[in-house]
Every structure is written in structure tokens, then in C-alpha cells.
Amino acid sequence: MNVEQLYDFLKKTQEEKGYFFNNDKSRVFDLLHGLLENRGQYGYMCCPCRLAADDRDWDRDIICPCVYRAPDVAQYGSCYCGLYVSKEWNERSIPHSYVSERRPPEKAFGKL
């Protein structure tokens, strides 16, 4: 799957769930490239903004879309890496604030 195909596939499936791509399309494509790079390197699409442990089971929580996306979008309007956002975030009707890492430290350091 190339980046355009990934874009089209995710846009359709994720928007149905209420998660929208950031309206900065070049940023979205950079993030999707990162996902594909991680798939090439680790065999799974780990969040491009997190350090993968190279262990699919251990990193299940940060395979995109990560399990932190829902609480992050609910709290900040954006997920940690900024790939997925809410409609309000894209419309700038809510502030664009810094999204703190929600992954527990024991997960981040556990296998590294």
C-alpha cells in the first residue's frame, strides 16, 4: 500500500468513526510516510512520534490508531502526533494546545 492508498483508506474508515485527518495535508502525508517507514522497519505501523520497542504485542497500544487517540481527541481535540483531530480542532473553534504523552512510563521504558 502506498501513501495515497493509505490516505484514502484511513480517511474513509476513520472519518466514519468521527476522527478526521488534520487539515494540514502535507503534515498528514509526512505522518503517513512515517507510519509506512515504521511498518518497513518493525513490521507494524507504530505511531511515528513514539519510540517503538520492535515488539508488536508490547507496542499494541501505540499501533496507529493508538489506544490513546480517543482520550486525547476528547481532551485536546488532537491525538498525540496530530494525525487525527476533531472537527472542532480543524475548524479552530477549540485551542490547539500541547498534547501530553498519555502512554504510561512503564510501557515506554519497559522493553527498551
The distance between the two most distant Cα atoms of the chain, rounded to a whole number of Å, is 39
Interface with another protein in residues 31-60 (CB under 8 A): 31, 33-35, 37-38, 48-52
Q: Does 9 bind another protein (CB under 8 A)?
A: no
Among 72, 81, 86, 89, binds another protein (CB under 8 A): 81
Nearer to another protein by C-beta: 16 or 102?
A: 102
* Shortest spacing between CB 30 and another protein, in angstroms: 6
Nearer to another protein by C-beta: 16 or 66?
A: 66
Distances (CA, A) of 104 to 51, 62, 108: 13, 11, 7
Rounded-to-integer distance, Cα 30 and Cα 100, Å: 21
Residue 45, CA atoms < 13 Å, CB-side half-sphere: 13
The count of other CB atoms within 10 Å of the CB of residue 2 is: 9
Binding residues for another protein, rule: CB under 8 A, are: 27, 30-31, 33-35, 37-38, 48-52, 81-82, 98, 100-101, 103, 105, 108-109, 112
